[in-house]
Structure 1
Amino acid sequence: MSTVGGVLEREHRIIDVGITILAGADPTDVSANQRMAALDAIAMLRRHIYLEEEYLFPPLRAAGLLGPVMVMVLEHGKMWPALDELERLLGDDAFAAAAALCRNLLEQLAAHNLKEERILYPQAEEMLTPGDLDELDHLLATAEIPAGWVCGGVAVD
């Protein structure tokens, strides 16, 4: 049986692979598959952030993990504009800049994912009720990010 943390960790790995493919690409010869891998990773990361912020983090905050959750939300807020910029760069065929941004994003994700995997995900398995875990498990398989949704850590002008 998969755990919620296990599913989220697998998503981390899949996202990392998609971003790594473009980060290591020759910017003068980026294939359609490399571009698509990066775009798929961006979409998956946005959905992953959405699920965490809307469904995983609220019960963890209520259970007393306000500090660690807020750190994750702030880090999501730093990544979100980078994802916007990466999509723009890919649309403009600015592959050298996109690859550099991917390398920076991978560094951010390495530190961020480690904290989630070592602190928040184990706590979720211990603190959330079976009903919360079942709902989250269902959402991981079915939920889609609503149009226009932006993560909580993004500063609004």
Structure 2
Amino acid sequence: MDEPTLTAALEREHHEIDAGLEAFAAGQEAGQPQPEQLARAAAALRRHIYLEEEFLFPPLRAAGLMGPVLVMLREHGEIWRTLDELEQAAARSGGGATDRCRELLGQLERHNAKEEPIVYPEGDAKLDDATKQRLHGFIEDGTMPEGWVCAMAAPRG
């Protein structure tokens, strides 16, 4: 485990995901689409949401952090749907991918501004060592199950 805390490891993933999406948007704006950049960033974002919802949030809810976790789950659903729309727009090649990507980056910025100072430090403080080890292990080399979808990713009404 490279990072000493879950906060550091999870924030590193945020930065890597953001950088991948920024690179995709820049390529789109420059007329040099990079679908592989989007594919990597999208897979990393979906995997990150999976690890939070399956490994981090359940013990935090059990420790009494219900409100912030519910906000994060709701926002994950919004982020997931926007990512779906971004991937669809990129596949059509008819435009709209840059706008969806910028929308997603804005959602992530607002989400991370709450998650990083509130939820992650609670994980460092409240999770037992075995759970922290499991999370760090997944961050290092875990894979998301095929077909997994976040809890609140129902289509927009």
After TM superposition, the score normalised by the length of structure 2 is 0.91
1:60-105 alpha-carbon deviations (Å, 9 max, x no partner): 00000000000000000011111112112222223x3001001111
The equivalent of 2:133 in structure 1 is 134
Report the CA distance shift for 1:145/1:131 in structure 2 as closer, same or farther (over 3 A). Answer: same
The equivalent of 1:51 in structure 2 is 51
**Alignment partners' CA distance in 2, 1:101 and 1:39:** 15
Please, which runs of 5 or more residues in structure 1 have no aligned partner? none
The equivalent of 1:63 in structure 2 is 63
Please, which runs of 5 or more residues in structure 2 have no aligned partner? none
The runs of 4+ residues in structure 1 deviating greater than 6 Å are none
**Alignment partners' CA distance in 1, 2:90 and 2:40:** 12
> Shift in Å at residue 30 of structure 1?
2.1
The equivalent of 2:6 in structure 1 is 4
After TM superposition, the score normalised by the length of structure 1 is 0.91
The equivalent of 1:106 in structure 2 is 105
Report the CA distance shift for 1:28/1:142 in structure 2 as closer, same or farther (over 3 A). Answer: closer
**Alignment partners' CA distance in 2, 1:39 and 1:30:** 15
Q: Is the 8 A contact 1:86 1:98 kept in 2?
A: yes
**Alignment partners' CA distance in 2, 1:28 and 1:131:** 46
The equivalent of 2:15 in structure 1 is 13
**Alignment partners' CA distance in 1, 2:27 and 2:115:** 28
CA RMSD of aligned residues (A): 1.7
The equivalent of 1:25 in structure 2 is 27
Give the letter aligned to residue 79 of structure 2: M
**SS of aligned partner of 2:96:** helix
**Alignment partners' CA distance in 2, 1:22 and 1:138:** 28
Q: Is the 8 A contact 1:25 1:99 kept in 2?
A: no
**Alignment partners' CA distance in 2, 1:145 and 1:118:** 25
The equivalent of 1:39 in structure 2 is 39
